[in-house]
Structure 1
Amino acid sequence: MSRPRCPRCLHPLSTCLCDLVRPVENRTGLLILQHPLEEHQAKNTARLLQLCLARSELRVGERFDEAAALAGAVLLYPGEGGAPWPDEPPRRLVVLDGTWRKSRKMLALNPALRALPRLSWAEPPASRYAVRKAQKPEQLSTLEAAALALQQLDGTDYGPLWAAFEGLMARLARHRNRG
């Protein structure tokens, strides 16, 4: 029998994230496409990100028929083909949430995503996500990548979102030290 879950953050009631939510107004909309195996992960930063940002949406799946939702959007994803950062924010920023292997599969399965202009950093900042070990410097958590991109696109301070992230990292560290 599964443990009861919070209806808002979907975490077990004992690890509910709702107290960490810090509301943030974002100019650029955010679409988070989450791999199904990430949805109930304790280390899931995507749900916290979605709960904090006023203009955000989280969809779970591997394949997405999102032509209308992707109009005017850019994809935040490292690698070849990165476009210069625009002077004006796009209508929507799209991020993929999953392991790197899963996100590559999601990209491969969705031609509409592959067709989007792609943003990435030439020299990404170091990750503060201490829960999983990144294999490459540009491998940030979903929350880190989206927050950094939105800060750059919107020219806005996302301090409350970073506070939510730090709260999650502290909570996960305490849990890890207890176990």
Structure 2
Amino acid sequence: MKKIQYLAVVSIASLFAFTSCSSDDNTDTQKPVVDLVAPKEGSKLEAGKDIHFDMLVSDNEGLGSYNVDIHNNFDGHGHSGDNHTHAIKAVVETKPFAYNNTWDLGGVKNDQIHHHEIVIAADATPGKYHFAVKVLDKAGNQTMVFRNIEIVPSGEGDGGDHDHDHDHDHDHDDHDHAH
């Protein structure tokens, strides 16, 4: 009888140990997948106009948030991976455009983000800029995408993407996930 009780206790303890270990195997380590459709690399965006922002995102477990950071590249700095470095150069007095905002994705696995919420200041200094997008999933895994863009005076831009086929007369509730 003691042998049966001992085997039962060992079996239950083993089952608990294996169950505990298996939950560690389910840790989400996959980064989100990001397809930044617009703006495209090298886009010329006009001061005083909105930016056509279009992106497809997905994650195996659930998306957390995305961040857009636009900053000047007057000093010629570069980006590699998740970091960027700045070269030291003198810059004449400017009014560089800067933008940084984060939106919640609410745990969905797939989303198409499309909006024109980002407006470049009319007096923004023309020149080279970086357009950086960081997408986080619910587990904290991140994917970053960078674009080199140029802000140009009004009337000289290419809009960032003229190949899109959709109606611009919409509000922000038209897409899969309101942003």
Relative to total residues, which structure has the larger helix share, 1 or 2?
Answer: 1
| TM-score normalised by the chain length of structure 1 | 0.28
| TM-score normalised by the chain length of structure 2 | 0.28
Greater relative CO (CA pairs within 8 A, separation 6+): 2
Larger radius of gyration: 2
